[in-house]
Amino acid sequence: MAVVDHAPRLPQFDNLDFDDFHAEELPRRLAAGNGELAADIAAGALIKSFAWRLSDGRSVTYVVDDNGILIRPGDDAELVVEVSEQDWFNYVAELWTWVGLMYAEAAEMVRGEFGLFEDFEPVLLAMYHGRPLYEGWEPTVDLSCSFTLDDDHEEMSRFLDEAGFLHIRGVFSTEEIEALRAEVERQRSEATPDDHRSWWATNSDGDEVCCRVTHMDDRSELMLGLIGDRRLDAIGALGGDDFAAYPERGDGVSVVIKLPSIVEGLADLPWHRDCGTGGHSITCPTVSIGIQLDECTEANGQLHYLAGSNKSSNRAREVRDGWPTVAISASPGDVTVHYGHTMHGAPPPTDAPTSGGRRTIYVGYHQPIWAEFIPPGQGYNDILFKDGGRILSPEEFQEQSS
């Protein structure tokens, strides 16, 4: 199996000192090319200055000018974000994003608002990590291509690395899909809004509906049997030989249920990355495998991928017309695969199958650092639970918090 070359991450969480980082390490990174890259990205940003203010009073400002990025003491900036030094470190180490800081209520917008933070984040990622901004991508592969498990796995691995996603046909039999559907419906019927194992939303009739169930493997031998399934293991290994499933962490074996007419709650995920709240440095690359239990069509909110976005950042979840987006049309028993850093989303369904929603079971494959860093029973999505099982969108969260 080919080892895929992924973006480097910070040294193994060596602790950063705020003053030393801005006096020595960040200037070194900027001079090595990150400053020029960040300044180019900042040309399209809404603001040209950003300041961190620590809770102990220390502060630093980044200013964009014709010479690149300048580092100045103080907080004379258009956007001023106050955090603890630990949360500043967590942000620089990509353990938090602007979304994670917001949901954790770990950042105060002293001047400006979270929308400006979201817009400026690609500049910070370029400064700290040299990550480019996605500005379109010329496909190097046939994006309409799909595979079977009998196809060459080296070719599949190259496709996944280039495009950031993959569609594999006919992985599970009709009988297996029927059994998985029945177990999903059993667990969905037993889910409650306060179990912290399910996500809930409100439809246009005012009904509270379950749109996700997590850790199904805890309550089902059938779902637990997906861990170690030779087919899924082979797909997970497309990311590298050391990828494995760790169901006791994160969401475990989970199901996403796409329902029509949702008016409140985060049931219809907009364009996003799975590391959108944080954890990129430990969760990425993640190979996310989706077992399709229903037909995936435009009417029931099929999954879309932004091809080639798995090695870049995006400004404010931006996806422009003309960029290579791919809508996946799949059949029951097919499997979709994507890297967690690949931009993807699913629009609201206009219709639903007779089951009452399009259902996809997800199993994630991670590198060992995931298990070393994330404790059993915990995961990044835990930060989203603020109101029972109601998962608020970023916009709903900001409105509720204001």
Q: So what's the pLDDT on residue 352? A: 66
Q: So what's the pLDDT on residue 4? A: 34
Q: So what's the pLDDT on residue 395? A: 58
Question: Which whole number is the average pLDDT over 308-332?
Answer: 93
Greatest CA separation for the chain: 65
Please give the structure tokens belonging to residue 184: 């999903």
Is residue 399 very low, low, confident or very high in pLDDT (cuts 50, 70, 90)?
A: low
Would the pLDDT of 392 be above 80?
Answer: no
CATH 3.30.1050.10 for domain 18-129, yes or no, is yes
The whole-angstrom separation of Cα 328 and Cα 74 is 49
What are the pLDDT digits (tens) for 359-371?
A: 999 999 999 988 8
Q: So what's the pLDDT on residue 124? A: 98
Residue with tokens 């967590």, as numbered in its chain: 90
Q: So what's the pLDDT on residue 269? A: 80
CA neighbours closer than 13 Å in the CB half-sphere of residue 204: 5
Q: What is the pTM of this model?
A: 0.90
Alpha-carbon distances, residue 332 vs 147, 177, 293 (angstroms)? 15, 7, 5
Q: So what's the pLDDT on residue 373? A: 84
Would the pLDDT of 8 be above 80?
Answer: no
Amino acid at 160: L
Fold of 153-401: Jelly Rolls (2.60.120)
Question: Which whole number is the average pLDDT over 51-74?
Answer: 96
Would the pLDDT of 382 be above 80?
Answer: no
Q: Domain coordinates of the chain in residue numbers? A: 18-129, 153-401
Is residue 42 very low, low, confident or very high in pLDDT (cuts 50, 70, 90)?
A: very high
